[in-house]
Structure 1
Amino acid sequence: MDLGEILRVLRNRWYIVVPMLVLAIGLGVGTYIVVPPTYSTFTMVSLLNAPEATKAATQGNENPFLSFDASLIATADFLGRRLQSTDTVLQLKNAGITEEYEVALAENAQGPFLTITLKGEDQDHLIASANELARYAGVALDDIQRQNNVAEKNRIKLTQVIPPQKPEMEMKAKLKLVIVAAGGTLAFAFILTFVVESLSRARRRRAALAQAEEIEAPSVSAAATATPDIEGTVVLQLPPTAPAQRPLPPTSIPGPGSDAEKTQRIQMPPRPAATVQKETQPRRPGLSTTYQSNGDRGGQNANRVNGS
């Protein structure tokens, strides 16, 4: 089916296409109005070396921002996976953090930086949840080290580098719902249109076939009819045959040696009275002379008279 055929079907079934198109537009607009907008924000935390490790790396300087070794990156990855575990998600949801969040290492970062991204509908609650999640990350890091009997002076610390940013509207999720509502309705209208067209064509074919069978049925019944006999046999009633014609009497056919096959009869007009008749036999008035032409006599006068 080409594009022209598709457009023709859509045009012929406009009573299906037009209402469904209006319904699709209405559903799209309604979805955009009813569905609340989604906002997103993020915060960033960083892991810092323990005081003893900082003194050893900086020769007595206790500033933790002067030493970032590779072990901190591995610890940050471990902490991010711990925060996204199922048990932690349920624990945070019971604590009031109902928004969806994601924890991952910061892109293009050269240190142990974790980016915490949250998505929700309430902007104020979203910011509060981001701060609470950053605080919980520090508590979780300290609990992990305490469970592994790490001394206080050797424990890694966590600090918040970037506070939660102003929430921004996420149009992608909202537009996705609008497209699903409107596009799904249009797809259903397209399928429904061609289903109705297919059923209509099948009904027309059956009607045409039934009409053709009705036309052929009388001719078949006129040719031969069958009636059941008492004993269960079938007697075929054939149409009556035409009466036999009497043979025509044979006609006399001249033989191959007769002169009739070579004779050509020519009727001449009567001669005037002044013409001298050379025939030896007397001529009757009103009759003409007949000539016989054949291959043997060369068209000589046969002395025959019309009617002889």
Structure 2
Amino acid sequence: MRRRWYVLLPGLLITAVLVVGAWRVLPVSYSSQSTVALLNSRKGAAADGNPFLSMEPSLTGMADSLARNVNSDAAKGDLKRAGLTEKYEVKIADNAQGPLLWITVTGPEPAAVLKGNTTLMEFTKQRLRDLQADQKVAPDAMIRLTTIVPPQKPEAQLKSTVQYLVMGGGLGLVLSLVATFFAEARRRGAAGPRHRQGPAGGEGSAPRAAARSGRPEERAAPPEPYDQRDQPTVQLPVRPAPGTRPARRPPSWVK
């Protein structure tokens, strides 16, 4: 990497420029959320006078039905005519222990997102009344909708944008490293030997070239004849003469 810095450095610079440019060009989305709850009718809560103490399981089923109705294509058309063009979602709140609904609006403009959340909340209340009016429900027996959390200040949703930028930066880094090692591999391959020399520094190449040329003056000389005098001598041990006794060695305990 140090030797091929002129390949790695431009790749890293291009990657950094593209990441910064994408950060400025990509649109940032804002999200606003509110929470509403379904309450028992005035007639049903007349016994104890507190509608929060009479949240029956049937209210949760009605909340699910209301969310599906508001998310339908027909409701999207009505909301678009009412001025809500941002993306929205109405669903039962996560880990809810009652008929609670989350109302979420997402868009590129914070002011429009906040206004759209208010519009969607009022539309949900009106749709709840219309569903019950179609069934000829008396006004005192109608389920009501109350606001638990008003529309919150829109917050920037940067998680998806940061994920895309990290993926793009990682891809640029990998491509820069691949280009660097590829340039190093090509350089080493080009610097390798193009032909092999003789075993003794090229001395064996001359006789082979002369033999291939076919000219008698350049042919290699024939080997010399075998001479036995060139063999090394071997010194054999001398045996003692007959009738002589070898010298006796002293015992091993004598120093």
Tell me the TM-score normalised to structure 1 length.
0.56
Matched, 1:195 2:182: yes
Instruction: Select the residue among 110, 117, 122 that pairs with 2:109.
Output: 122
Instruction: Select the residue among 106, 119, 129 that pairs with 1:132.
Output: 119
Secondary structure of the residue aligned to 1:33 is: helix
RMSD: 3.8
Secondary structure of the residue aligned to 1:179 is: helix
How big is the shift at 1:124?
Answer: 0.9
What is aligned with 2:20? 29
How big is the shift at 1:133?
Answer: 1.3
How big is the shift at 1:64?
Answer: 3.8
Matched, 1:211 2:195: yes
Instruction: Choose between structure 1 and 2 for higher RCO, CA contacts under 8 A separated by at least 6 residues.
Output: 2
What is aligned with 2:67? 80
What is aligned with 2:229? none
Partners of 1:198 and 1:90 lie apart in 2 by 61
What is aligned with 1:162? 149
Runs of 5+ unmatched residues, structure 1: 1-9, 227-238, 246-308
Partners of 1:141 and 1:105 lie apart in 2 by 15
Partners of 1:217 and 1:103 lie apart in 2 by 87
Distance change >3 Å, CA 187–CA 103, structure 1 → 2: farther
What is aligned with 1:249? none
Corresponding letter in the other structure for 1:169: A
1:270-281 to structure 2, matched below 5 A, reads none
What is aligned with 1:15? 6
Q: 1:220-262 CA deviation, whole Å, 9 max, x = no partner?
A: 7765699xxxxxxxxxxxx8996xx9xxxxxxxxxxxxxxxxx
How big is the shift at 1:16?
Answer: 1.4
Distance change >3 Å, CA 211–CA 82, structure 1 → 2: farther
Partners of 1:90 and 1:190 lie apart in 2 by 51
Instruction: Select the residue among 170, 176, 179 that pairs with 2:166.
Output: 179
Partners of 1:157 and 1:35 lie apart in 2 by 42
What is aligned with 2:239? none
Contact between 1:106 and 1:115, CA under 8 Å: does it hold in 2?
yes
What is aligned with 1:54? 45
Identity of paired residues, percent? 33
Partners of 1:125 and 1:26 lie apart in 2 by 32
Corresponding letter in the other structure for 2:99: P
Partners of 1:218 and 1:101 lie apart in 2 by 87
Distance change >3 Å, CA 168–CA 51, structure 1 → 2: same
Partners of 1:66 and 1:79 lie apart in 2 by 22
1:261-300 to structure 2, matched below 5 A, reads none
Corresponding letter in the other structure for 2:105: L
Q: 1:181-232 CA deviation, whole Å, 9 max, x = no partner?
A: 4333222212222333344445556xx3x4239x999877765699xxxxxx
How big is the shift at 1:15?
Answer: 0.8
Partners of 2:14 and 2:171 lie apart in 1 by 11
How big is the shift at 1:128?
Answer: 0.7
Contact between 2:207 and 2:220, CA under 8 Å: does it hold in 1?
no
Distance change >3 Å, CA 199–CA 144, structure 1 → 2: farther
Distance change >3 Å, CA 195–CA 43, structure 1 → 2: same
Contact between 1:20 and 1:189, CA under 8 Å: does it hold in 2?
yes
Runs of 5+ unmatched residues, structure 2: 226-255
- How many pairs were matched up? 216
Query: Quick check: which has more Rg, 1 or 2?
Result: 1
Matched, 1:103 2:90: yes
